[in-house]
Amino acid sequence: MTPSAPKGGRVLIYSHDSFGLGHLRRCRAIAHYLVGRFKKLSVLIISGSPIIGSFDFRARVDFVRVPGVIKLRDGEYTALNLHIDITEMLAMRASMIRHTAEIFRPDVFIVDKEPIGLRGEVLETLKMLKPRGTRLVLGLRDVMDDPKLLASEWRRKNVMPALKDLYDEIWVYGLPQICDPLEGIALSPSVRQKVVYTGYLHRELPVRENAQQPRSIPDRPYLLVTTGGGGDGENLVEWVLRAYEHDRLLPYPALFVLGPFMPPAQQAAFMARVAKLNRVEAITFDSNMEALTAGAAAVVSMGGYNTFCEVLSLDKRTLIVPRTEPRLEQFVRATRAAKLGLISTLAEDKLLDPAVMAAAIRALPRQKLPSEVVIPGLLEGLPNVARLVEPWIKAAEQDQSTLQFLER
């Protein structure tokens, strides 16, 4: 006999997290908001992030870490730490995902970005949960890639049957007037009807239980320079650092967050240069980026989804220097946002001219704040996600109450 679930709904979130921090931080923000909104809800995150344990989680949010993988330059994947074949690794991950879902019995299952998971690892879990009545949701950030490249990628991965036959809803964490991640994708009318644009995910300074304040917030206004995970952030750090070496009178002192995935040798080289400058500090990583962003006078970033949400939510003048490889995600987002006046952009060039970057930093104090640009529904993502989840959470609570009544 299967034991009855405790009173309260359950949400399971899957994030493949082959590299970087973006997927994990987005899923964590959703989980934290949902447990704050629904007092009996439990949220479990399945993640492959090697540093998920470095983050604090609210009560009733927990995680299962599957073995990590990393994407190579040729596009192939390999095991991050274990010396085993990638096929064995993916089979192990798929089994862990399925068994976790089978035991946890979620009312809602949210899959982040990859419709069938990394190399299809979540497909069997979707097929298992569908007949059980679990609400199946695909969550997409505002920009995936250049539409032609995304269309080709989805054809190669054969994701359309899952979108048509398995998923109940497709949530886009953004607004179509800024970016439409499915622009140019040939979707059937039935799939297109599943798409809901939630707005961007608002970020706040979290109430962190049993947690210390960030250790490295300067005691004066500063320029925050952040690369996200840092695995591809060397050029941004190099360019801004050159500007501070070139012009010692830039308007703000600088705090660099290099990112935990930046190669250690490169981190050490940057730290050595920072040590020679009076108005520049650097750290590798802090799990409370919201607090670091809140304390900044302005931000220079590559423009990943989470940083974009943070600078809008915390109303920071921001300069984005987007990457263009291997995806155009950051470039598309930055270009559209700059046209609306939300941020400013600077195209990366091979010269990394310090005078060019210094001029862009000097222009930041004259830039509009994001709050001066009115876009209805811009930061309503989290309340809208909660509204979308609520019917299934309430149904689970009602079913449990009925079961308990019948058992008396």
Domain count, the chain: 2
- What string of H, E and C letters represents the secondary structure of the chain? CCCCCCCCCEEEEEECCCCCCHHHHHHHHHHHHHHHHCCCCEEEEEECCCCHHHCCCCCCEEEEECCCEEECCCCCEEECCCCCCHHHHHHHHHHHHHHHHHHHCCCEEEEECCCCCHHHCCHHHHHHHHHHCCEEEEEEECCCCCHHHHHHHHHHHCCHHHHHHCCCEEEEECCCCCCCCCCCCCCCHHHHCCEEECCCCCCCCCCCCCCCCCCCCCCCCCEEEECCCCCCCHHHHHHHHHHHHHCCCCCCCEEEECCCCCCHHHHHHHHHHHCCCCCEEEECCCCCHHHHHHCCCEEEECCCHHHHHHHHHCCCEEEECCCCCCCCHHHHHHHHHHHCCCCEECCCCCCCCHHHHHHHHHHHHHCCCHHHCCCCCCCCHHHHHHHHHHHHHHHHHHHHHHHHHHHC
Task: Tell me how far apart the alpha carbons of residues 388 and 392 are, in angstroms, rounded to a whole number.
Answer: 8
Angle at 205 between CA 375 and CA 362, to 5 degrees: 65
In a domain, 300, yes or no: yes
Mean pLDDT for the chain overall = 89
Same domain for 35 and 151? yes
Does residue 210 have a pLDDT over 50? Answer: no
Does residue 212 have a pLDDT over 70? Answer: no
Q: Which two tokens stand for residue 164?
A: 């048509």
Q: Which two tokens stand for residue 347?
A: 């195209």
Does residue 211 have a pLDDT over 50? Answer: no
In a domain, 85, yes or no: yes
Mean pLDDT of 387-402: 81
Domain that holds residue 258: 223-372
In a domain, 340, yes or no: yes
The pLDDT, as a whole number, for residue 77 is 66
In a domain, 4, yes or no: no
Same domain for 25 and 163? yes
pLDDT band, residue 156 (cuts 50/70/90): very high
Does residue 20 have a pLDDT over 70? Answer: no
Q: What is the pLDDT of residues 119-143, one digit of tens each?
A: 999 999 999 999 999 999 999 999 9
Same domain for 186 and 281? no
pLDDT band, residue 79 (cuts 50/70/90): low
In a domain, 3, yes or no: no
Q: Which two tokens stand for residue 343?
A: 């941020």
Same domain for 349 and 403? no
In a domain, 108, yes or no: yes
Q: What is the CATH number for 352?
A: 3.40.50.2000
Same domain for 175 and 237? no
Same domain for 366 and 390? no
Same domain for 26 and 57? yes
Does residue 402 have a pLDDT over 80? Answer: no
Q: What is the pLDDT of residues 268-281, one digit of tens each?
A: 999 999 999 999 99
Longest CA–CA separation in the chain, Å: 77
Same domain for 359 and 389? no
In this structure, of 151-160, 317-326, 396-405, the range with the lowest mean pLDDT score is 396-405
Same domain for 29 and 164? yes
In a domain, 330, yes or no: yes
Same domain for 72 and 157? yes
Same domain for 93 and 182? yes
Most confident listed range (202-206, 246-250, 313-317): 313-317
| Whole-number Cα distances in Å, 170 to 112, 149, 261 | 10, 20, 30
pLDDT band, residue 95 (cuts 50/70/90): very high
Task: Tell me how far apart the alpha carbons of residues 30 and 36 are, in angstroms, rounded to a whole number.
Answer: 10
Sign of the C-alpha dihedral computed for residues 392, 395, 401 and 402 taken in this order: negative
Mean pLDDT of 335-345: 96
Same domain for 184 and 263? no
In a domain, 210, yes or no: no
Q: What is the pLDDT of residues 329-338, one digit of tens each?
A: 999 999 999 9
